[in-house]
Amino acid sequence: MALDSTDLDLDLRHLRVFEVLLREHSLTRAAEVLGVTQPALSKTLAALRAYFADPLFVRVGHRMEPTTKALQLGGPVREILDQLTSLRTTHVPFHPAVTARTFRFSSVDSGMIRQLPALLDALKEQAPHVRLQIVPLDLARLESSLESGSLDFATGSFPGLSKRVRRQFLWSVSYVGVARKGHPRIGDKPSSKAFAAERHVLVYSAGTGHAHLRTERALEKALPPESIVCRVPSFVGAAVLVAMTDLVATLPLGMAEALAPHLGLQLFPVPVKTPTIDIYQYWHERFHRDPGNQWIRELFVDLFRRNGVIGGPRRS
């Protein structure tokens, strides 16, 4: 029996499905974001179509493209969901000393090395029952995860996120060369020629959307292809590999300084012009006024500005 719009009532589940489909353009990806089966999602979409008397999304190639009606509904639906989130979070008190909340955030591994020791020490003093969950970075779902609240915030440098994702400057990253202590050829300040002649492990960032890609490209331009003997997706992995071999790597300075005494590494200036990358914390507009989200963001700014971060906070 066909659904009749007069027999239907929309609830938050319907609106959330509509919003995710509008962003993801895919039933499969939307089902993954929402944590439901594809048949269940299709059933909800059928109910939405009946209620609005419109297809809402039509398949074009491999994408589900919104109809004119769906595009018109996008703004009002987001506004309803934003207001409901605000009602749910603004009036719930947050007391760091007693809360048992788990905060979930994403960061590249060099950021975790920079952040977690100081953050965990601060939580021990200020919020001993708070727990952290570090979620693997997935740029394709980063914005939707922030929007849904499955991520509280992220740190890094992701210039491609939309204006609905707020950001605040934390620190600037510069790069340094890394080799094991006692490396047979690397001295305190190798020349460009000597640096290029070494065997390198390169940290790659393709697909992450992270601004480290600029450093990766600078190194690829300066080094002969035969000198790049290994590519890894992890800064920590590259540091460990350098410590165990005669390879060299180019890593973020703060992370390299933190790991050097533990891994037996020597640091040296990179004779290649590499960019300075600004690192931000990101959160979704929907949770901007959430007291817990505000508190953890303020803690990040306080910790990393106090610990010698270059420059003050930048907002956009």
Question: Is the residue at 80 inside a domain?
Answer: yes
Q: What pLDDT, on a 0 to 100 scale, did the predictor assign at position 206?
A: 66
Q: Is the pLDDT of residue 217 over 70?
A: yes
Residues 132 and 264 reside in one and the same domain: no
Taking only the tens place, the pLDDT of each residue in 78-87 is 888 777 766 6
Q: Residue 196's domain is classified under what CATH number?
A: 3.40.190.10
| Count of domains for the chain | 3
299 shares a domain with 230? no
Per-residue model confidence as pLDDT tens digits over 42-77:
999 999 999 999 999 998 888 889 899 989 888 888
Q: Are residues 150 and 233 in the same domain?
A: no
Residues 114, 55 within the same domain? no
Which stretch of 88-97, 172-181, 211-220, 292-301 has the lowest confidence by average pLDDT? Answer: 88-97
Spatial contact of 286 and 147, defined as CB atoms under 8 Å apart: yes
Distance (Å, whole) CA 51 – CA 10? 8
How high is the mean pLDDT of the chain?
Answer: 86
CATH value at residue 26: 1.10.10.10
Q: Per mean pLDDT, which range of 90-94, 202-206, 240-244, 271-275 is the poorest? A: 90-94
**181 confidence band (pLDDT: 50, 70, 90):** very high
Tokens encoding 178: 């890394």
pLDDT number for residue 89: 63
What pLDDT score was predicted for residue 4?
47
Calpha distance 85→149 (Å, rounded): 10
Q: Are 112 and 86 found together in one domain? A: no
235-244 helix and 109-126 helix, angle to the nearest 10 degrees? 110
Selection from 263, 267, 227 nearest residue 250 by Cα: 267
Closest CA to 170 of 281, 288, 315: 281
- Indicate whether 59 and 179 sit together in one domain: no
Percent over 70 (pLDDT), the chain: 90
39-75 in b/e form (b: 16+ CB < 10 A) is: eebeebbebbbbbbeeebbeeeeeebebeeebeebee
Is 198 within 8 Å of 227 (Cβ atoms)? yes
Co-location of 59 and 82 in the same domain: yes
Judge if 227 and 260 occupy the same domain.
yes
Query: pLDDT > 90: what percent of the chain?
Result: 50
Q: Do 83 and 219 lie in a common domain?
A: no
- Based on the fold, state whether residues 209 and 243 are members of the same structural domain: yes
**64 inside domain:** yes
User: What is the domain extent for residue 110?
Assistant: 102-172+277-306
Q: Are residues 158 and 287 in the same domain?
A: yes
pLDDT number for residue 307: 46
